[in-house]
Amino acid sequence: MIFKLPRTADGYFLEDHVKLRPVDMTVPGFFLAGTAHSPKLIRESVSQANAVAARAQTMLVRNEINLGAATARVDGNLCAACLICVRSCPFNVPFINADGYSEIDPAKCHGCGVCVSECPAKAIQLMQFEDDRILAKVEQLFERISA
């Protein structure tokens, strides 16, 4: 329950995609093998374990792990510490730091944008989807339409 990993109705863990990612789970860095997935023969379990080992090796061999650019960032000057982002985040990532404003750990942020949309002070921005970038794209679209 700590990692909120998805399960089937029978209580077995659920893979991300049956054909494309059969040993990966929806949470990055978690893999699935053997009878945790479903009842299976030893040969199938060993084959799946080999696939998990290979998949994990591809992640561990890198010097850096790319977490993705879509993470939320808080402007401490605008944050009122109202706790709305803390309550609304489905992944329980935001917290009020020692300085008295909300903080979001980029390594834990999933980039869903719920906290961004709920923040009444507009103190949170989703990287790659900042207001100024979106407005610039909208203005470009209107220029194309009017031209």
d(CA 52, CA 44): 12
Q: Give every CB contact of residue 134 below 8 A, 6+ residues apart in sequence.
A: none
Tokens of 125: 């921005």
The yes-or-no verdict on residue 50 having pLDDT over 70 is yes
Q: Give every CB contact of residue 147 below 8 A, 6+ residues apart in sequence.
A: none
Per-residue model confidence as pLDDT tens digits over 96-113: 999 999 999 988 888 888
Per-residue model confidence as pLDDT tens digits over 1-16: 567 788 889 999 999 8
Do 72 and 116 contact (CB within 8 A), yes or no?
yes
Q: Domain ranges for the chain, please list them.
A: 1-66, 72-146
DSSP single-letter state for residue 72: E
> 72-146: which CATH topology?
Alpha-Beta Plaits (3.30.70)
- The per-residue pLDDT for 67 is 59
Tokens of 7: 């399960």
- The per-residue pLDDT for 103 is 94
Do 145 and 139 contact (CB within 8 A), yes or no?
no
